[in-house]
Amino acid sequence: MKKKLMTTLSAAVMAGALFSGAVSAKEENSKKSLTALGDSITFGYNLEQHNQRVSKDAFPFVMGDYANLRVRDLGVPGWKTQDLLNALETNEKFRQAVAHADYITLDIGSNDLLQAFSDYNVTDDEVQSVLEKLSKIASEIRELSDAPVVVYNIYNPFQVDDPRHDIGNLLLRYKVNPQIESLVHSLNQELNNIVLADAFTAYGEKQAEYVLPNDIHPTIEGQKVLAEIGLKALHLEE
């Protein structure tokens, strides 16, 4: 009798566990989804010891936790705008992730210009190349999805006491980011639901808090700031 009772209880526990797992999977699948496209910033580079996988502290996951979204983080360290454009044109994993997304973040272009910042100069040709690729990326996204897209501009990655900080501010404030903002405005009129997240203003002069020391990548706090402005741009902050 005792053996029969224990068998019955075990079966009930197993059935409950299976049912709970099924409900959990169903709830997960019923969530809206966020696909994050970008480079090492989106990846959450240097937040984990070995950088073998995307960091759960990267801003797309912070957004997902806050807004109850399933997150597909496709950030790839070192990528430039051309790399992402190639992926959206030819890589089925990227194309399917975009096609099934309810929301999309796009943070790319910093690597295109990083060497130029280090050399204390960004040419018009370099900026135009980034803008042209961003436009093509947005068009490719719209071929696959009508989901809202938030495009991040470029924050100043140099610490306040770094000689590159002031020139970075000048180039970003007056030469680079205004053109990114203008492009996003035009893309929104042409393709709809494409909005800007102003990372440059959000970071301001707080690199010591938001950028890893001896690095150019966001701290955990810096990633939270990127998440906050992304949520606000997508009207998901409430």
How do the domains of the chain map onto residue ranges? 1-28, 31-233
The whole-number pLDDT of residue 28 equals 59
Nearest CA to 152 among 89, 69, 47, 59?
59
The whole-number pLDDT of residue 174 equals 95
Nearest CA to 73 among 45, 49, 38, 100?
38
Whole-model pTM over 0.75: yes
The whole-number pLDDT of residue 25 equals 52
The whole-number pLDDT of residue 150 equals 98
The CA distance from 187 to 135, in Å, is 7
**Is 176 buried (19+), middle (13-18) or exposed (0-12) by CB count in 10 A?**
buried
pLDDT mean by block of 10 residues, the chain; 238 residues: 44 50 57 98 96 97 98 98 98 98 98 84 92 98 98 97 93 96 98 98 98 98 98 92
The whole-number pLDDT of residue 24 equals 53
The whole-number pLDDT of residue 16 equals 52
The whole-number pLDDT of residue 2 equals 42
Dihedral pair phi/psi, residue 16, rounded to 5°: -65, -40
The CA distance from 26 to 197, in Å, is 32
| CATH of 31-233 among 3.40.50.1110, 3.10.129.10, 3.30.1330.10, 2.60.120.10 | 3.40.50.1110
